[in-house]
Amino acid sequence: MFNGSWVSSWLRGERDPLQAALGRLEREVIDVVWSGAEHTVKEVQGRLPRKAAYTTVMTTLDRLFKKGLVSRRREGRAFVYAAARSRQEMSATLTGGLLRGVLSHGPETARPFLSNLVDAVGEGDAALLDELERLVRDKQARTRQEPE
């Protein structure tokens, strides 16, 4: 079901799956891209927290483009890059895909996931746990109102 070297640390709950799926430089580059509208390779290179060669940044942006994380358009002889999705949209897409995958295997696989979700939310923020409860109640109310 899961492939990649990032999986083991992610499954142990140590890392955000999006961040775990990207290398260190890819994470730094996508963070720069997420910070503004459009960027040239040179602009990204100048905003990185550590030095990286222009060609290294160019290759990294190309890899992110091939992964669908950035878009690009030609401007003269160079490309200008932009985020394909915001950080929030990317997190929502990743989370939604994970949830659909877990829930597609029936209640037996969903229960441990839901239990871990409630535990993680409860450990992190009581107000967020209240928000989760409110969301569940709202969804239940809407489901009861929907015609069959």
CA 1 to chain centre: 18
Query: Does residue 73 fall inside a structural domain?
Result: yes
pLDDT, one tens digit for every residue, the chain (148 residues) = 444 444 444 455 555 666 667 889 999 999 999 998 899 999 999 999 999 999 999 999 999 999 999 999 999 999 999 999 998 888 888 778 878 888 888 888 888 888 888 888 888 788 888 998 999 899 899 888 877 6
pTM (predicted TM-score): 0.66
Q: What are the two backbone dihedrals, phi and then psi, of residue 14, each rounded to the nearest 5 degrees?
A: -85, -25
Query: Does residue 2 fall inside a structural domain?
Result: no
Query: Does residue 1 fall inside a structural domain?
Result: no
Residues 6+ apart with CB under 8 A from 38: 80, 81, 82
Nearest to 71 by CA among 102, 101, 34, 112: 34
- Decide: helix, strand or coil at residue 72: strand
Residues 78 and 11 in one domain: yes
